[in-house]
Structure 1
């Protein structure tokens, strides 16, 4: 594993993937990447670049935090045809991973109680471990495209893998963004926010995976109907608030339906059995 690829290496690996899937339309290509793939190091490097900027997590810290979870990780990676470089990455950890290891001590609730309260004894669990979008792709149309592709690729892969539960420890900013597109996380065991890995306000969360797409689709409808209450909140007033609401409605619709996203997503030929084996 490598969290510090140089630009030359990233360009070489990105170019190979873009050539392999050159038939896919659009500026961006999204991939699900097994932990052993060379492209996984591209995703790891994106994670580290973003986390070092936001939470001061350098290479040794990333290795220390994620080493034990590497074999159970699946990465999602968005590549930019215009630059020949990655734009964003995300990671899930099969089996509940880091969240179920770290959350009990942080919220002062033992693991057996968390499992019982949220029904985690039944069905496959994914830990939504990281989401990292590089600075050049934050805000604006390209930034929305990158984050939407990461979310949709995650949903497609999780459906193929038969995931039943999603757990996460999210910084308040990431949770705020997910609320606005309609993800209805619940605090794990009714817990409160806590300090974690450089974030002053992190929450331990759970939601049933099969409810994600219906919840996001409902949010798209609520956001379209002016005056109707919706999940989450929008900062700002007047025209700015209205424009944000319209954009959020469009993003939620695309993520829930795959409209203009699925054609740019590749799960490297993986059927459900292969995806399970990749983890």
Structure 2
């Protein structure tokens, strides 16, 4: 994959989940212009890693709010309350549809922020009741610097087909960035419906976090706290291509496991 850098613009930055469509379009256009010529013309969807303090990161927050408000009733005020404490540790991967010049999806990573990891903090309470020390012991997490929290994954309506192109691109970008940063462990809390697709069809090696059971979480009637061992990610997804369900998702797995579209990604290094 080519080495292409995104420079974070930090002047006068305020995290916002409630941009107007015009503001989103203007920010997205400015971001694409800053990376003009970065990708071959054949790619409709391009993925960009964006620092959490960049003005462009509000594109991702807008996507989060739109998707989670429609799905779970999480409006801008609730998103700010839930994720505001973790903004200092957040990095975003954003997918943009170049045919429209508008964003299509976003994935948030939370590193070891001053408030720690949202998943580990939230999982202490009902319905999960997991202690961070149990997570560390059961999943052999020795260094918190090797842990990332997948805080959100959100794909806008109209971009949820095409063999999961947008979500696959976001997970692929996250995986490659994790390798760059020496990340061995992922935790997250994921709604049961997308989680089944991620595990059954894409073979992403998510397992219940510290053996926990699923339950309701932030408006989702059934979510699961999960763990993923990053070194297992590519071997597992490659092997999954030869299963029955993997065969059904073979085009998506070609992107995820083999990196067939890695030139459509621009990662900070």
Band of TM-score, shorter chain: 0.7 to 0.9
Query: 2-side partners of 1:57 and 1:193: how far apart?
Result: 20
Q: Structure 1 runs of 4+ off > 6 angstroms?
A: none
Among residues 167, 171, 176, which one is paired with 2:187 in the alignment? 167
Shift in Å, 1:253: 2.3
Shift in Å, 1:162: 0.8
TM-score, with length taken from structure 1: 0.84
Once the two structures are superposed, the pairs formed by residues 4-19 of structure 1 within 5 Å of their partners are 4-19=18-33
Shift in Å, 1:247: 4.2
Q: Does 1:124 align with 2:141?
A: no
CA contact (8 A) 1:220 1:250 kept: no
Among residues 85, 99, 109, which one is paired with 2:102 in the alignment? 85
Instruction: Find the counterpart in structure 2 of residue 263 from structure 1.
Output: 263
Once the two structures are superposed, the pairs formed by residues 1-279 of structure 1 within 5 Å of their partners are 1-23=15-37, 24-25=39-40, 26-95=43-112, 97-106=117-126, 107-122=128-143, 124-139=146-161, 141=162, 144-179=164-199, 180-223=201-244, 246-259=247-260, 261-267=261-267, 270-271=268-269
Q: Which has the higher helix share?
A: 1
Query: 2-side partners of 1:120 and 1:112: how far apart?
Result: 9
Instruction: Find the counterpart in structure 2 of residue 242 from structure 1.
Output: none
Shift in Å, 1:144: 2.2
Shift in Å, 1:61: 0.2
Query: 2-side partners of 1:59 and 1:207: how far apart?
Result: 29
Instruction: Find the counterpart in structure 1 of residue 11 from structure 2.
Output: none
**Which consecutive unaligned segments of at least 5 residues does structure 1 have?**
224-229, 231-244, 272-279
TM-score, with length taken from structure 2: 0.87
